[in-house]
Amino acid sequence: MTIIMAPEARVTARAAEGWGVTPTSSRTGTFQRASRHTPSDRTGTVRWGHSVRAVTPLPHGTARLHHHNHTTEDFDLVIGADGAWSRVRPALSDAQPSYAGVTLVEAHFGEVDHRHPGIARLVGRGTMSAKAGRRSLVLQRNSNGHVRAYINFRGPRDWHAGVDLADTEAVRVRLLAQYQGWDESLLDILRDNEGGFINRPMFVLPVPHTWRRVPGITLLGDAAHLMPPAGVGANLALLDATELAQSVIGHSTIAEALDAYESVMLPRAAENAKTAQQMLAGLMPDTDSDDAAFPDSLWPADPLPDSRPAHAS
Ligand SMILES: Cc1cc2nc3c(=O)[nH]c(=O)nc-3n(C[C@H](O)[C@H](O)[C@H](O)COP(=O)(O)OP(=O)(O)OC[C@H]3O[C@@H](n4cnc5c(N)ncnc54)[C@H](O)[C@@H]3O)c2cc1C
């Protein structure tokens, strides 16, 4: 359930999933569940702390991985699942993430039901979103009574100019100045958080982001389709990974598998990125008005169709 509020903390709507902010699962929980099925470190299959510098295609459809320690290894298939600032992406495309004009500042609250009853009331069992014009405050309840806050606003990337981001009190003062006139209960999101503020300027890849297929190299998740965080990025990354695995299993060559995977993933990513952009423009309009209305419909009913690579078995 998402609670939608105006800046004076008046509830203007209650919505099920998919309106404004899609509920999210705990990243730590998802990671722990996934890593239970990952071969242990001892097999050498997973190498933690082993970062990649670049990837280059080789003749005969294989690819060379350049590690940060200046060693190299050759593989039949390199999958760039390395996020927004992918080191694999340059092997496929010249696209670079650019600032979307919106910044999210993250804050955290622990044990809200005991320590922050006001925050617990605001967020309820799901999410809360309050908005006026180009600013919003979002709360998401995660597991174990933990609440994550996003302080979101459209503005220049250097909104904190002259303030040391490590100086929590100075950042707090700068943020409070942006939310003058908002209800005291909402301002507690800026006043009572634990730990510091995490500055997250929003970066996006161009839409559509595509490439001519390069043998032995592909991308998934944010590396392929970094988009405004509209509640589907992690889902899409997991879906990409599942479908790519199915495609590799279901085809006799890597080339066929990548054809099948990319022919489904790229259009789906473009469609979701376009919707995420529209959603961002609706939620964070480039306007001086303090309009608190949420756009009526922000996300299509079925944003993640159960699509499969065309030739997967
Ligand atoms: C503020 C915010 C809120 C969000 N909220 C949601 C939400 O509610 N729901 C949702 O679905 N999505 C949300 N997203 C989006 C979601 O976090 C991403 O879409 C998702 O994490 C993408 O997964 P990924 O595996 O592609 O990339 P990442 O999660 O970025 O993982 C990339 C991995 O690659 C590793 N890596 C990076 N560079 C290298 C290198 N050179 N060598 C080796 N490894 C490397 C990194 O350490 C990291 O482990 C949000 C994003 C932001 C910024």
What letter represents residue 226's amino acid?
L
Which ranges constitute the DSSP H helices of the chain? 27-35, 112-115, 117-123, 168-178, 184-191, 222-225, 233-250, 254-283
Are the beta carbons of 100 and 204 closer than 8 angstroms? yes
Report the atom number in ligand 1 closest to the C-alpha of 231.
9
Determine how β-strand 147-154 pairs with β-strand 135-141. Answer: antiparallel
Question: Quick one: CA dihedral 275, 277, 280, 284, positive or negative?
Answer: negative
Which residues lie closer than 8 Å to 258 by C-beta, 6 or more apart? 77, 213, 215, 218, 247
What letter represents residue 15's amino acid?
A
Classify 108 as helix, strand or coil.
strand
Report the atom number in ligand 1 closest to the C-alpha of 52.
42
Residue nearest to atom 21 of ligand 1 (CA): 234
Q: How far apart are CA 285 and CA 272, in angstroms?
A: 19
Report the atom number in ligand 1 closest to the C-alpha of 234.
11
Are the beta carbons of 205 and 273 closer than 8 angstroms? yes
Q: How far apart are CA 286 and CA 133, in angstroms?
A: 8
Are the beta carbons of 78 and 58 closer than 8 angstroms? no
Q: For residue 266, how far is its CA from the centre of ligand 1 (angstroms)?
A: 18
In this predicted structure, what is the pLDDT of residue 276?
94
What letter represents residue 285's amino acid?
P
Q: How far apart are CA 261 and CA 247, in angstroms?
A: 6
Are the beta carbons of 171 and 153 closer than 8 angstroms? no
Tell me the pLDDT tens digit for each residue of 50-99: 899 999 999 989 999 999 999 999 999 999 999 999 999 999 999 999 99
Q: For residue 214, how far is its CA from the centre of ligand 1 (angstroms)?
A: 23
pLDDT at 290 over 90: no
Q: How far apart are CA 81 and CA 213, in angstroms?
A: 16
- Percentage of residues of the chain with pLDDT beyond 70: 84
Q: For residue 153, how far is its CA from the centre of ligand 1 (angstroms)?
A: 21
Domain extents in the chain: 81-97+209-283, 98-204
Q: For residue 208, how far is its CA from the centre of ligand 1 (angstroms)?
A: 19
Q: How far apart are CA 244 and CA 238, in angstroms?
A: 10
Residue nearest to atom 15 of ligand 1 (CA): 233
Tell me the pLDDT tens digit for each residue of 230-289: 889 999 999 999 999 999 999 999 999 999 999 999 999 999 999 999 999 988 888 877
Report the atom number in ligand 1 closest to the C-alpha of 235.
11
Comparing 81-97+209-283 with 98-204, is the CATH topology the same?
no
- Write out the two tokens for 143: 């597991």
In this predicted structure, what is the pLDDT of residue 9?
85
pLDDT at 204 over 80: yes
Q: How does DSSP classify residue 13? A: E
**ipTM score of complex:** 0.98
Residue nearest to atom 42 of ligand 1 (CA): 51
Residues with CB under 6 A from ligand 1: 24, 51-52, 81-83, 87, 104, 200, 221-223, 229, 231-235, 237
Of 1-15, 79-93, 111-125, 193-207, the poorest mean pLDDT is in 1-15
Residue nearest to atom 9 of ligand 1 (CA): 231
Q: How does DSSP classify residue 146? A: -
Q: For residue 289, how far is its CA from the centre of ligand 1 (angstroms)?
A: 33
98-204 is a CATH 3.30.9.30 domain = yes
Residue nearest to atom 43 of ligand 1 (CA): 51
| Average pLDDT over the chain, rounded to an integer | 88
For the domain 81-97+209-283, what is the CATH superfamily, name and number? FAD/NAD(P)-binding domain (3.50.50.60)
Are the beta carbons of 295 and 252 closer than 8 angstroms? no
Q: Burial, 40: exposed, middle or buried (Cβ in 10 Å; 0-12, 13-18, 19+)?
A: exposed
Q: For residue 30, how far is its CA from the centre of ligand 1 (angstroms)?
A: 13
Nearest to residue 109, comparing CAs of 189, 26, 18?
Answer: 189
Q: Find out whether the peptide bond into 39 is cis, omega within 30 degrees of 0.
A: no
Report the atom number in ligand 1 closest to the C-alpha of 150.
1
Q: For residue 253, how far is its CA from the centre of ligand 1 (angstroms)?
A: 29
Q: How far apart are CA 15 and CA 275, in angstroms?
A: 19
* Diameter over CA atoms, the chain: 64
